[in-house]
Structures are given as C-alpha cells and as structure tokens.
Amino acid sequence: MIYSVDTILSLVLLSILFSLGSSRLTVLFKVIAFQGVVVSIVPLIIGGREFGWGDITFTLATMTVRGIVIPFCIYFAIKKATIETKFRPIVGYNASMMGGLIFIVMAAVVGGKLHLPAVSEGKLLFPAAVTLLVAGMFLLMARRNAIAMVLGYIMMENGIYLVGTTFSVQARHIVEFGILLDILAGVMIMAVILQNIKQAFDDMDTARLRTLKE
C-alpha cells in the first residue's frame, strides 16, 4: 500500500537528485523552498493522531520560516549581490547525480536494517531524511559557490529535522523551535557575510577565500 507521505517524500528524493544535477542557483533555491514546506508538513500527517490548534500553528510557523523566510533571504542575497547564477562545481553534475542515487540506496539499506518504530507508516521517511542530510553535506563539500554551500547547509538541516521527526513523534515543539531560530539567525548572518564577501572580492568562489590566509 502506498501512503501519501511516501508519495510526497519520493518527490523530495527526486528534488534532491535535481538539486545535485542542476547547475543553476535558482533551481537549487526552489528545491530548498519545496523541501522546507514538505519537511514541515510531514510531522503533521504521520503518526495518525488528531491534531489540535497547537500542532497546526506550529506547522504553519515552521512552514513559513522554512518555506518562505529562509529561501527568500537567500534569494534576496542572490539578487542584491547580482551573483552569476551558474557556477562551476568541484564534483561534476553527472557524478553528483550518480552519487545521489547511491546515497538513496545506502539510506534505504540502513533504514531497512534499523527497524525504527515511527517508520512503520512512511517507509521512505528515514531514507529521505538521511539522504537529505548526506546530500546537503555533499553539496557543502562539492560546490565552490558560497550560496550553493549555504543552500547545502539548509538542506542538511532539513534532513536533521526529518530525522528528529522519525525518532520522536511527540513533545518536540520547544526544542525544534529553538533549532529553527538558530537556523534563521545563522542564515541571516550568512546572507550579510555573503554580501560582504561579494563586496570585497566581486566573486562568490570560496576557493578564493584562501587568499585571506596571510
């Protein structure tokens, strides 16, 4: 039987592949927004509980921050800094995409071995969470452009959030609000720093930060 959660999550997995194979920042940014929305909805629909007003408010808040505020912060950073939206990667796009497929397989294998209690309903939940995490980290490693790296970081964070969801279905709101605020602050700081880097170097290539060493 196919659960709706699984269908949504399979779209998330697909979006990860897209983000790994894409050379455009705008695509990456849309993908992140999409993932943010999905990731914040998922906790609401799994577990099969009735949800009260608290849950809904919380979900809406997360969704606003993840799906709208964070991506648009980055978006405006891109706009303001007039950064070229195509960038050269360290690991090529085809290789990244193949890597993404391998991540998914590995995540599925690991997930199958762990027998997590919450996974009973959405079989893809754990694989999707782990893939998000690993793919985000991979983006951090494999991309030169600072903005792509920030987006990779956010993707990783989405993964962490989803992992958290798989482990604890209830009583998590406070902790996660905390995390969310941290992220928000982090992203804003990064957006400011990005602008400064841009002003200083006229470029977003992190490899060039090495010249700051002296």
Rule CB under 8 A: which residues touch other proteins?
1-2, 6-7, 10, 13-14, 17, 21, 92-95, 97-98, 100-101, 104-105, 108, 123-124, 127
Cβ proximity to other proteins, 51 vs 93, nearer residue: 93
> Which CA distances in Å does 180 have to 33, 66, 161, 177, 197?
15, 8, 9, 5, 25
Shortest reach from residue 37's CB to other proteins, in Å: 19
Shortest reach from residue 131's CB to other proteins, in Å: 11
List 145's β-bridge partners, or say none: 205
Shortest reach from residue 71's CB to other proteins, in Å: 24
Shortest reach from residue 65's CB to other proteins, in Å: 29
Task: Provide Rg for the chain, Cα atoms.
Answer: 18
Cβ proximity to other proteins, 56 vs 101, nearer residue: 101
Shortest reach from residue 93's CB to other proteins, in Å: 6
- For the chain, the first-to-last Cα distance in angstroms comes to 60
HEC readout, 116-161 = CHHHHCCCCHHHHHHHHHHHHHHHHHHECEHHHHHHHHHHHHHHHH
Cβ proximity to other proteins, 61 vs 98, nearer residue: 98
> Which CA distances in Å does 84 have to 25, 54, 80, 140?
9, 42, 11, 19
Cβ proximity to other proteins, 60 vs 109, nearer residue: 109
Cβ proximity to other proteins, 112 vs 178, nearer residue: 112
